[in-house]
Every structure is written in C-alpha cells, then in structure tokens.
Structure 1
Amino acid sequence: MVFLAPKKNLFNLYFLRYKFIFLTIGLLFVYILLNGDIRSNINVRKCFSDINVQNKIEDILLSERKPRKGKTIFFHETSCNIPDTLNHVRLKARQACAIESAALTNPNLDIYVLFASPKILNNQTITPILESILSYPNVYLRNVNLWSYAADTPIYEWFKDGKLFKSKYIYSHVSDFLRYLTLWHWGGTYLDLDVVMMKTIENIPPNFAGAESIYHVAAGVLNFDWDGFGHEIADMCLRNFQTHFDGYDWGKNGPGVITRTLHEICKTKQIYLMTRSRCFNFNVFQNETFYAVPYTHWKYFFDSDYLERTLEMTKNSIAIHVWNRYSSDTPIIVGSNVAYGVIAEKFCPKVYKSSGKYF
C-alpha cells in the first residue's frame, strides 16, 4: 500500500528547501562582500605604504631640512598610488597654481607640499608645470609615511585600528586627517589645493580660520600656532576627529572638526561671534576673506558673464576657494575671460603659462 504525503507536508518540504537555498546565497553574498572589503582595505593600505626605490623624494621626518615651525604653509596631495607601480610626482595645473600663488605672495614663508602616497622625482619626469613651482626657492616637496607621521601623537592608536582606510571618501578623509596632524607637528598654515592666494598672510597673527557660512567654519584655510594655545587647538582637533569620525560623511571630518572644536572653545555656535576677544585669541574671518564665492555659486569662477561680479566679490579677499569638488571637470581655455583664469594669470603666472591650451 502506498501512502501519499499530505499537501501541507509537501509545501513544508519545498519551503524548507528554498529557505535553505536563499540562506546559503545570502551567506555567500555576505562572505564575498566582507572579503571584498578586506581586499579593498588591504589595497588602500598598500598604496599609502612606503617604497624602497631610487629617486624617492625625501620623507618629511627624515629630511635634514624640516619645516620651520609656525613659518610654513602646507599642502597635501593624497591621491593613491596603484599598488606595485612606480609613481612619479604629478600635479595638475590648478593644484600647482595654488602652490605657486602661496610661494609668490608669501616669499618669507616656506611652502611644503606633502605626498601621502610615496612619490619619485628625477630630471626625466619633471614636467613644465612642476618646473614652474620648483623655480621658487621656498617650495619643498616631501613624502609622508602615514604610520610614522601619526606615531607618538594623540591619534596614533585610533589610526592603527584602520577605520580611516574603510572610508567611502578615502582621499578626502586622508587629507582631513593630515591637515590636523601636520598642524599638530609643526604649526603654521594649511591650504587646500584649490585655494589661490592673492595677498600675503605673513603679517596675520597666528590662530585663524575662515567662515564658509553662518553655520560652518571651513577647513580649507587653517592656521595654528606651533606652541601654546595653537598647539592645544591642534590637539583638540585630533581628538575631535577620532571621536566623531564617520567614513560615510564627506564633511564631518574636515570642516566639521574645526567647527565643533570652536563651538567648545568659543562657547557659541554663532560663527560671527568667533573673534579673538571671545575665542582666546583665535579668529574666524568672515566669508569674504577666503570664501567670498560660496560653493553654491562655484560656476561664477568659470563663466565670462560673471567675470566683473566675481572680481568685485573677491576684491578684498586674501584668497579664493574654487570648490574643486564641483568644478574639477569644468575646463578653462588659457586666455579666456573668466574670473579663475584672470586671477590665475596674475597670481600663478608661471603655472598658467606652462599649462598648455587648458588650465
């Protein structure tokens, strides 16, 4: 006699079978995802790791000539080497423009360009753009080993944990990490590579930044004294960075750090009240000093119809910020009548001339 299983039992058997299949697929997906993150994390770490080759530019900590504390302007280039390849120093015209403008307007300050991913330099690989900035006697190129640079600082234990390398915005967040760490080491001024200096900062008292809006202090221009309260601010910023780090938030670890730190120091969230008298001799310059053209109007720098308006907006500025995050793919024909080009021709003339057809 043959006994047939009830329909309900057959349904349960099929349900269990497909449940097992879907569970297996899900676990496999998670395994692949996690291992992909691990491999990606290893590759990111590797591209910032040191290399032992000839013609490598000097390490900032090992170089005989080191930055003058409080008398140096720093730039950071944080693009990543492709693992197992030799990477020569390469700077885009606009990056080089920022460097030249700093050197031109501040001849009594040192200008250090720090590379987070080790770079090589020899006579055969110097481009006309690179030659332009190296013609200034106060410009120096240095490699930075992230691990040794962070050692013996308040952020080293956090850094070793590897959270930084899991960031969605790794290059931007390495830059955020380095700007506060560099100012902790040496003091002085940090500038973004999309800032063009138009006036000297040599005579401005130390400890300052600039407002981006009524709510935020920007991190594209930062100056901390190398000792005393300036060093305390740098220390506070490093601790704030690691406490609030979010690898999925682009701005929380850069402008967010200095804004939160100044909230604590100045006992106010009103940016316009962050003056030297209230903030223990730290000053936040108002928008027109460094960020006269807000990011929402970045196209003003690239549109000839806004030339006169943009030059009027920036006539009292110490520097301009051209918002590379939004503008990097917008070409400028050398000689065209746009504000960025007009300003670049004046304040980074060698780079502008050597950039070719497009700036």
Structure 2
Amino acid sequence: MPRLNSTRLVRLVVVLIGLSAIGLIFKQSKNTLPHIEDLLQSTIQPKHGKNIFFVETNCSWHEHSKAFRLLNLTVRQACAVESAALHNPSFQVFVLFACSTYREAALPAPIKATLGYKNVQLRQLQLLEYVKDTPVEQWFQSGAIYNSSYIIIHMSDFLRLVTLYRYGGLYVDTDVVVLRSLEHVPPNFAALESDAFVANGVLSLAQTGIGHSIAESCLRDFQQNFNGSAWAQQGPLLVTRVMHRICNTTDLKSLVNNRADCQSFRVFDSKAFYAVNGDLWRNFFEPSELEPTLELTKSSYMVHLWNNSSKALYVSVGSKSPYDVYAKKHCPKVYATAGKYF
C-alpha cells in the first residue's frame, strides 16, 4: 500500500473527523450528558412551509471536557430566535445545531428564555443522514466541503439550502432582530443587499413548485462552483447567480416587488431586511443614532446586525442605542436575562 505524505494524511484525518464527529452521534456512556433531539427523529416535524429555520454551525471542541460544545446560544442569537417566535406564533421556529450537542440539566438563561415560547424547537442534525436523497448527497459524502477555509460560514450556507430543499420555509441568520410578522408574506422571496447582490441571510422557498426548483438549483450550484477559499462564493454570490438564471436578467433592481418577472419569486428591496447596510453597522450601537435608525427601519421586517463586524462590540443594557431598543421590545425575555451587557 503506498504511503501517504504528511499533508495528505492530515487532510484525510480532517475529513474523516469532520464526517464522523459532526455527522454522527457518539455512543453515550452512563456519564455523558444527553444529546438534544435529532431533527429527523423528532416527534415535532417542520410543517408544510410554516417554518422559520436558524442554523448554528460552530462545532468547536469544548475547551475543558474535550467534548462537543454544550447546548448554548449567545444572548444575541437567542434574541433573534425569540423575536422570530414572538412575531410569528403560527410558525414553528427551529434552531438547528450542526453537531452533537449536549443538554445540561440547568439550561443557560438565553436558551431557557427562548423555550418559553411553545413554537421554538432546538434540534441537532446528523449530517450524513440529513443530506440523503438530495442533489448533493454524494458530493457531501466525499468530504469536499471540509477543504473550506471558512468551514463555519460555508457549512451554514450549505445547510440552509439543504433545509429549505427538504422542508420549505424561511431561513434567517442568527444576527437579526425580527420586528414584525412574516406570517402573511407569500413564500418564495429574498432581498437585495445592494443593487448588485441578492443576500442569503433571509431566504424563503416553498417546499414545492418554483421554491423547490430554486432550492435544487442552489444546491447544484453549490457543488459545481464550490470554492473553499472564497468567503461569499457559496452565499450571496450563489443566490445572485441563481437569480440571474431563474429570472433571466442581471438587472436585479427591475425584479423588486415584481413577482411576474421571476416566476412568482419576489425580490424585496434592501429596506425590508438590510435597511442599515454593512458599512454602517456601528449605527446600531450608538445612542446618538437612535432616531435616524428607527426612522430608516420603520417599515422593515427585520434588521441585520452584521455579526462578522459587530460581534466584539458589547452594548450596555439601557443604553438607548438602536439595538438596545430593538432588543428590549422584540426579545423581552432574553433581554431580561442579559445582565449589564448585550
């Protein structure tokens, strides 16, 4: 048998660890904590289109126990979940963890706050099973995705598409605050992030018809154009490429609020979900920007906080910054658990 050089050996080990550790549940001994329920085995399954999905793909090892992370959400992630559940009571809100996740007897306060809503469901995914019977099953089994330099981001990009392909519904990033109901918005929509790009931070696809066709097209594009060294290649760039093909145009602004031009798929303008663009993310955290930001987002369905830029900036509870005001109103239970900082 030929010998593997060190680089190939390390890569093989990484792929094998990724597929087994993330995709499979470890056998439990008497001393292990229980896993949270697997989505595919759950008694509560996603409804036909009446679902909001969040995905958590940070599967880093727990520093002390050397086991996978315990069930947790940051306060801001929990705020996103609560705001979705609060404003959309007829939807099931699923938080999907892409790794074996353990549940302690005493739940962290943000998690406990979200579970105060009967429509919030926390589930883990067994990835090898989850991708079965999808267009990317064999590609995923090859381990190609683990060559990514941005595995947490690219796994999130991947799983939102697999989830919408399987169930239909609405995918939402965890760095948002939902401001009002989406229950009466017809399915199959996304929104411009700018004049040139359709974002994938909010994506609605029905389980049948054009929604399912778009989900399939996105998955095939993910496989065919996968580039693990390009941060946005599988995210907004992918959705934009698919929209160009499906809608037969590169003039994305012409599609805004015009379902007739894109097979009943709707493209919202940026004000619906991204009224404060990524360059102005600090405005969410400055008390002096409260009135202008509230005015700018008064007709928005949600606000996007641009976590990649804002995650290290903490907010004092009661600071009257825009984010503080949004959180107090739209995720009150989580806000009450935050302590001094949010």
What's the TM-score, normalizing by structure 2?
Answer: 0.93
Corresponding residue of 1:64: 43
SS of residue matched to 2:85: helix
Mapping for residues 48-197 of structure 1, pairs under 5 Å: 48-49=22-23, 50-53=25-28, 55-82=34-61, 85-124=67-106, 126-197=107-178
Residue 356 (structure 1) shift: 1.4
In the comparison of the two structures, how many residue pairs are matched?
329
Q: Does 1:37 align with 2:11?
A: yes
d(CA) in 2 for partners of 1:32, 1:153: 34
Tell me which amino acid in the other structure corresponds to 1:118: S
CA deviation map 1:64-97 (0-9, x unaligned): 2211020000000101142851532010000000
Asked if the contact 1:78–1:117 (Cα under 8 Å) also holds between the matched residues in 2, the reply is yes
SS at match of 1:273: helix
SS of the equivalent of 2:40 reads: coil
Structure 1 Cα separation of the partners of residues 41 and 132 of structure 2: 14
Once the two structures are TM-superposed, the CA of residue 273 in structure 1 deviates from its matched residue by: 1.5
User: What is the CA deviation profile of residues 170-214 of structure 1, one whole-angstrom value per residue up to 9, with x for unaligned ones?
Assistant: 000000000000000000000000011101000001100011000
- Offset of residue 310 of structure 1: 1.2
Q: What is the rounded CA distance, in whole Å, between the counterparts of 1:161 and 1:220 in structure 2?
A: 27
Identity fraction in percent: 42
* 1:347 corresponds to 2:321: no
CA RMSD across the alignment: 1.6
The separation in 1 between residues aligned to 2:14 and 2:129, in whole angstroms, is: 22
Paired with 2:191 and 2:156, the residues of 1 have a C-alpha distance of 18
Q: Secondary structure at 1:61's aligned position in 2?
A: helix
State the Cα distance separating 1:41 from its structure 2 match. Answer: 3.6
Secondary structure of the structure 1 residue equivalent to 2:200: strand
Higher helix share: 1
Larger Rg: 1
Shift of 1:357: 1.3
| Cα drift, residue 32 of structure 1 | 4.2
Letter in 2 for 1:301: F
| Aligned equivalents of 1:312, 1:268: Cα separation in 2 | 32
- The one of 258, 273, 277 equivalent to 2:260 is 277
SS in 2 for 1:80: coil
- 46-55 or 243-252, larger mean C-alpha shift: 46-55
CA positional deviation for 1:46:
4.4
TM norm structure 1: 0.88
- Give the SS at the match of 2:41: coil
CA displacement, residues 150-182 of structure 1 (integer Å, 9 cap, x when unaligned):
011101111111111110000000000000000
Which amino acid in the other structure matches residue 146 of structure 1?
L
- The yes-or-no answer on 1:311 pairing with 2:299 is no
1:208 is aligned to 189
- Report the Cα offset of residue 256 of structure 1: 1.5
